[in-house]
Amino acid sequence: MPNPRSNLSRRTFLGAAAAAAAPVLARGQQRALPPYEPRDWSGNTPLPYPDPDVIALDDRFRRYILFNTPIRRHYTGTLWAEGPAWNGSGRYLVWSDIPNNRQMRWLEEDGHVSVFRSPSGHSNGNTFDHEGRQLSCEHGGRRVARYEHSGAVTVIAERYDGKRLNSPNDVVVHPDRSIWFTDPPYGIRGNYEGHRAESELPVAVYRVDPQSGQVAKVTDEIGGPNGLCFAPDYSRLYVADTGSGREIKAWDVDGARLRNGRRHVQLTVPGDPDAR
């Protein structure tokens, strides 16, 4: 059985960053960012260590920065790269190319990038569970799917209260094996990243029980749920809101429930929050 700690997704890293930044942001303190300068990706320009484009808004985050590892560009051939997830057992990175309806894979051994899955159901977020099985949020099928080691596909969630989900966006796995995911309408608003359709449900965040497989709504107190992650100790859930709020929200995790929802980060710079 693969070590679950060896499977790193975009949510795991964000969880550590969010937890480290929380006290500073809660006190309303702001740290000025250095002026942005376009990066030279040619490899001809020497970089100092640590990489200057890895910025710590809170000094406690610096312990997560690998000193002698620069940011590298591995691939540029996607229309919209989303949902990177690292498989520590296979030593490869998987991500979605939503409009091209495919998933890509980068191999650590030789740096080779190839098509991993096509069609992919216009997948968005990906992660690996504690058994090393890949979970994907599919806009096309409006579902969360699990790819078994045998090659079979198991549908984890596609309906709630008898109605179809919108377009699951991102997914995380709790140590108790429950599966948590966001369900905004972005994948059904047009045909670019899915198939145009009418929403049957309000936007929400859901939990799938590991024993019964029952899908339960844990919160709908968010305008546009997008990326999500747990805190390193799994005591809190963070969800990026790419609706009108442009913020990251936080809840305390109380077993199978969430409580004490509040704003964690308010974005004041251009762009939308996500679990990148």
Task: Tell me which long-range contacts 195-200 makes (C-beta under 8 A, separation of at least 24).
Answer: 195/122, 195/139, 195/140, 197/142, 199/166, 200/163, 200/164, 200/166
Which pLDDT tens digit goes with each residue over 222-273? Answer: 999 999 999 999 999 999 999 877 899 999 999 999 999 999 988 776 666 6
* pLDDT of residue 61 exceeding 60: yes
CB atoms within 10 A of CB 222: 23
CA distance 183 to 171: 10
Average pLDDT over residues 176-200: 97
From 2.120.10.30, 2.60.40.420, 3.40.190.10, 3.30.365.10, which CATH number describes the 4-26+50-266 domain? 2.120.10.30
* pLDDT of residue 6 exceeding 80: no
Are 140 and 101 in contact by the 8 Å Cβ rule? The answer is yes
CB atoms within 10 A of CB 235: 11
Domain ranges of the chain: 4-26+50-266
Instruction: From 38, 113, 47, select the one nearest 81 (Cα to Cα).
Output: 113
pLDDT tier at 99 (50, 70, 90 boundaries)? very high
* pLDDT of residue 16 exceeding 80: no
Residue 46 has what pLDDT? 84
pLDDT tier at 33 (50, 70, 90 boundaries)? low
